[in-house]
Chains A and B, each alone.
Chain A
Amino acid sequence: MRNEVQRLLQKQAAWQRSRASRPWADKLRESVAVRRGCAAIREHPPDRRAKRDTVRYWDITRVSR
């Protein structure tokens, strides 16, 4: 179990390093996109009455019980 977690963490660290090594300008554009996305959600909040199509935390925990 411990080895599996170690492998998972190493894999995640490698993925993070590969994202970090991308060109600075690309990462800055990505940051702008995130900021725009947040602003869009603020301006047009999702309709809470709409039928939800995402799995929520309690759905997963209910299944696992």
Chain B
Amino acid sequence: MDEVARLLNDMVAAGVIDDYAVFGAVAQMRYTEAVATLDADILVVVPDADPLQAGASKRAGALNVLSPIYAFCREHGYQAEGEAIRVGDWPVQIIPAFDALTEAAVKDAETGDVDGVPLRVVGADYLAVIALSVGRAKDFTRILALRECEAVTNQRIAELADRYDLGEAWRSFLERFDEK
């Protein structure tokens, strides 16, 4: 993962992206025990680009936004592998921040340490609320794991959920998983 961290830090230094933060399972592992995952998900903020307006369609727009990133990776010897870019042991999936929640998650990200290399990572609170917004079984498992390790509190999740219009989803989560 240190190789991924170096590549992302180089991208910021070269101005290819403004900022980034790891999220998903790789971010979760900063707070909980190790979990199995296929790839590393990275949220990126790109300079002066609105992914929804950069092309004729949402799909084309997202691709236009990502093309300088893919070009940078190619120049540095990293090839695309399906939807991801292979960097050492990790298929890396780059996802442009796509709403107010993910933009704030990158802005408020923390700086972790991977074998001495700094790596920006989404905080446990945002990680839980992003999981809540996605709402698959594995996302609910992530929230439960983060709470169990005391990386985040119900109160903090509730605050963020209310701010990003996910209050109802959070109440439904509590009803489903918390003991009465």
Interface residues of A (CB under 8 A from B): 13, 16-17, 19-20, 22, 24-25, 27-28, 30-32, 34-35, 38
Contact = CB atoms under 8 A, between A and B. Distances in A.
Interface footprint category on B? 20 to 34
Contacts of A17: 149
Contacts of B113: 24-25
18 contacts: A13-B148, A16-B33, A16-B148, A16-B149, A19-B34, A20-B32, A24-B30, A25-B1, A25-B2, A25-B113, A25-B115, A27-B29, A27-B34, A28-B26, A32-B89, A32-B90, A34-B36, A35-B36
B34 to A, nearest CB: 4
- Which of B26, B35, B36, B148 has its CB near the most chain A CB atoms (within 10 A)? B36
Nearest to A15: B33
Interface in B3-61: 25-26, 29-38
A24 B90 contact: no
Nearest to A39: B38
B112 interface: yes
A31 B37 contact: yes
B38 A20 contact: no
Contact of A28 (B29, B31, B38, B148): B29
